[in-house]
Structures are given as structure tokens and as C-alpha cells.
Amino acid sequence: MRPRQARLADVAWTGTSAVPDDSLFDPVTPPYVALDVEIPSDVRQIEPIVNLVTEHCRSLHLTRRQCSLNIPVALSEALSNAIISGNKEDPRKHVRLRATISDRALVFDVVDEGGGFDMASVVHDPTTSQYIEQEDGRGVFLMRQLMDRVEQFRGPHHVVRLTLNR
């Protein structure tokens, strides 16, 4: 895991920033980037970065469930898709995770160097009898269930944006 130069602050994660923690709860606090890191395209890198994020969730006054279920599972899914489907586990490629915090929401941008797959095309319901005994096919479903919004952007890079309202 390596910080990017674009990293603006890490107040929520390290507590070492000049920005007081109280500012996180100030209703006029503008959105700020709390974490901006790159990880190699290796699924073993998912757990440490997810742990880093979830360890500090409670300082943001999120619910216990948001910290122990919604964020870790949805973020794991997005990172996993970026590493496996996006970067095809190519060790020369990286996945970028950018977390932005405002008084209204947490926004996670997961950026890979590949094309990913079209999430809009994922319309099956893995809870139905047709799919429930299949090993795969629950990742996008879980992101949609556990986040308030899941978006996908294509440009120079492929971005999956997860938004969790506070």
C-alpha cells in the first residue's frame, strides 16, 4: 500500500492531521479526502486496506453495523472486482482507493487500470432459486444492498463509486 501524492489529509485514519477531529461533525465541513492510497493488484492486499478504513469508522459516528458490515463487505467487493475483473491481477497494475468524507456521506472511489465489467448488465437476483446455489454472482448485489448508491464511471480509468449516507 502506498500513499499517493494527491493525498490531501489523513485525519480520520491517523489522527495526526492539523485538522481537529471535531471538524468532522461540523455541518459546514466541506468534503475532504481522508484517504488516498494505491494497492497492488493482489487480493491479499484487500484485508489490510479494509481494516484500515473500518478501524476508524467509529470516529465518524457511523453505526456499528455500517462499520462492521456495510463498509467492509461493500468495499471488499469493489476492491476485489477492481483487482480481478479490472486489472486481471496484473502485478504491474494498481488499484486506487480514495475516501471522501462530508457531513452527509462517505464516498469511496475504487479506481482500476482496466475496463472492469458493466455493472448495469448485472440484473440477476442471486437470491432466487435459479441462482442461489451458484458460487459466484453476489458481489454487485451486496454492494447495492449495503451502500446507498453504487455508480460506475468510465474514462481514462475505470471507477466504481460507493456512497454511504451518514
Partner 1 sequence: MSFTLKKHGDVVVVDVEGQLIVGNRQELKQKVLDELERGERKFLIDFAQTGYIDSSGLGVLVSLSKKIREHGGELRLADLNDDLQTLFELTKLDTLFQISDTRERALEGF
In whole angstroms, the minimum distance from the beta carbon of 27 to partner 1 comes to: 29
- Taking Cα atoms as reference points, which of 87, 112, 85 lies closest to residue 97? 112
Q: According to the binding rule CB under 8 A, does residue 141 interact with partner 1?
A: yes
H/E segment holding residue 146: helix 139-146
Among residues 17, 80, 85, 152, the one that binds partner 1 under rule CB under 8 A: 80
Q: Which among 19-27, 104-112, 133-141, 152-160 is the span making contact with partner 1, rule CB under 8 A?
A: 133-141
Q: According to the binding rule CB under 8 A, does residue 72 interact with partner 1?
A: yes
Q: According to the binding rule CB under 8 A, does residue 126 interact with partner 1?
A: yes
CA distances 34 to 17, 72, 98, 113, 128, Å, are 10, 17, 8, 22, 39
Which positions from 35 through 64 interact with partner 1, judged by CB under 8 A? 43-44, 46-47
Q: According to the binding rule CB under 8 A, does residue 68 interact with partner 1?
A: yes
In whole angstroms, the minimum distance from the beta carbon of 98 to partner 1 comes to: 21
Exposure on the CB side of residue 126, measured as CA atoms within 13 A: 14
CB 61 within 8 A of CB 91: no
**Residue number with CB closer to partner 1 (3 or 137):** 137
- Taking Cα atoms as reference points, which of 86, 107, 99 lies closest to residue 149? 107
Q: State the Cα–Cα distance between residues 103 and 12, nearest whole angstrom.
A: 13
In whole angstroms, the minimum distance from the beta carbon of 74 to partner 1 comes to: 9
Q: According to the binding rule CB under 8 A, does residue 138 interact with partner 1?
A: yes
Q: State the Cα–Cα distance between residues 166 and 159, nearest whole angstrom.
A: 22
Which neighbouring-strand residues pair with 112?
A: 158
**Residue number with CB closer to partner 1 (118 or 136):** 136
Binding-site ranges for partner 1 (CB under 8 A): 43-44, 46-47, 65, 68-69, 72-73, 76-77, 80, 84, 126-127, 132-139, 141-142, 145-146
